[in-house]
Structure 1
Amino acid sequence: MKKNLSVASMISLIIAAVLIVISIFIPWWGMKFFAPQYPEGLDIIVYPTTLDGDIEVVNGLNHYIGMKEFSNQSFPELAYMPYIVISFAVLTLLVAFLRKKSFLFGLIILYVIGGIVGLLDMYRWLKKFGTELDPKAPIDLDPFVPPIIGENTIANFVTNSYFTYGGYLLGIVFILMIFPLWKDRKK
């Protein structure tokens, strides 16, 4: 019974590791806000290391509904996320060069757990910001939880939440990680 991964599988994992590193530099998730006064939309763009977009404008608007301001300091994960991402890239390279199928299974399990934890963390923050509204805010609004993916309407704002290039890149990484399981399956 063959336990080693093929050269093609090793190459697939090396490409996955490179893509993991590249993902640090591109956004993973975003939210776009549309309203009559902002027909072009306002953006919140989330990289694994920082927030970008129309943060100050959105914070100014969120003040009216009693939502806490958010910034890079609001999300401590952004400080250590690059280390987690690089660790996954190093582990992926290690599995690629060791070429052991058992290590690959472990890597895939860790990757899936990391993805689930990341999504749960995103949900936690969305819930916290949407439900812990200041009752003394100028506009009284029922608590809400913006979706991780999809559309939501709050007052006259329609928000669209979506994964961006980095999120899709992480999906491709997963495919490159499971490719060796297909490639090196028993005949």
Structure 2
Amino acid sequence: MKNSSPISSTNRLLLILCSIALLAVIFLPIWRIELDAAQYPEGLELQIYSNKLAGQVDIINGLNHYIGMKTLHADDFIEFTVLPYIIGFFVLAFLGVALSRKRKFVYVLFGAFLLFGIVAMVDFYRWLYNYGHDLDPNAPIIVPGMAYQPPLIGFKQLLNFGAFSIPDLGGWMFIAVGVILAYCTWNEFRRAKKRNLSQV
């Protein structure tokens, strides 16, 4: 049976490297939001790790107060509690699949990792939406009809601030892991198909 055939040595090595990369992601910034305005020529930066926020968080919170946005505190987000464990699970899952050498587990891992990526981005978008729309009606500065949702990815002008949202080092590593896993899955599927055809 094709699903019980062992995966290639190259793909096993790639999966092990992915496991190591994901372990590093736990300690690296995953996403960054950069803010640029005339009064801050050096720019402001918010870095999002798996378990904390970094960058000029206090300054950004001070600015948010004036327009009614909630202040940012890692303790307010359950994601910062569970995300390191989820990533840790995938660290072990990638390593386990590589050691098991079973092709069917590669397919399962790909499905699980893809689902996690989709859920994570949807949750991040929801967080950004609530962050930019749930405003204090008693804020010192109120612009009727104005929302301050940062972009999920890319650039967006928010009053006199330009907001630029992109993956940080850990995020790019996450994307690279997904691409490598997709390649391994496709490669194993192709190898299984060739093997089946050769047996006909």
TM-score between the two structures when normalised by the length of structure 1:
0.95
Within 1, Cα distance between the matches of 2:182 and 2:138? 51
Task: Provide the secondary structure at the position in 2 that maps to 1:125.
Answer: helix
Aligned twin of 2:32? 30
Aligned twin of 1:111? 113
Q: 1:171 aligns with which of 172, 175, 194?
A: 175
Calculate the aligned-residue CA RMSD, in Å: 1.3
Task: Provide the secondary structure at the position in 2 that maps to 1:69.
Answer: coil
Within 2, Cα distance between the matches of 1:144 and 1:43? 16
Aligned twin of 1:125? 127
Task: Provide the secondary structure at the position in 1 that maps to 2:69.
Answer: coil
Cα-to-partner distance string for 1:102-125 (whole Å, 9 max, x where unaligned): 111110011011111110111111
- Contact conserved, 2:110 with 2:185, CA < 8 A, in 1? no
- Contact conserved, 2:157 with 2:163, CA < 8 A, in 1? yes
Cα-to-partner distance string for 1:48-80 (whole Å, 9 max, x where unaligned): 111000000000001010001111112121112
Aligned twin of 1:160? 164
Determine what percentage of the aligned residue pairs are the same residue.
37
Task: Provide the secondary structure at the position in 2 that maps to 1:41.
Answer: strand
Structure 1 stretches lacking a partner, 5+ long = none
Task: Provide the secondary structure at the position in 1 that maps to 2:10.
Answer: helix
Aligned twin of 1:143? 147
Within 2, Cα distance between the matches of 1:179 and 1:169? 15
Aligned twin of 1:65? 67
Cα-to-partner distance string for 1:128-160 (whole Å, 9 max, x where unaligned): 110000111111131242211111111211111
- Contact conserved, 1:66 with 1:136, CA < 8 A, in 2? yes
Task: Provide the secondary structure at the position in 2 that maps to 1:10.
Answer: helix
Task: Provide the secondary structure at the position in 1 that maps to 2:137.
Answer: coil
Q: How big is the shift at 1:182?
A: 4.1
Structure 1 residues 86 and 168: CA distance shift in structure 2, 3 A? same
Aligned twin of 1:96? 98
Task: Provide the secondary structure at the position in 1 that maps to 2:60.
Answer: helix
Within 2, Cα distance between the matches of 1:177 and 1:82? 20
TM-score between the two structures when normalised by the length of structure 2:
0.89
Aligned twin of 2:58? 56
Task: Provide the secondary structure at the position in 2 that maps to 1:151.
Answer: strand
- Contact conserved, 1:12 with 1:179, CA < 8 A, in 2? no
- Contact conserved, 2:25 with 2:170, CA < 8 A, in 1? yes
Deviates more, 1:85-94 or 1:73-82: 73-82
Deviates more, 1:173-182 or 1:156-165: 173-182
Structure 2 stretches lacking a partner, 5+ long = 195-200
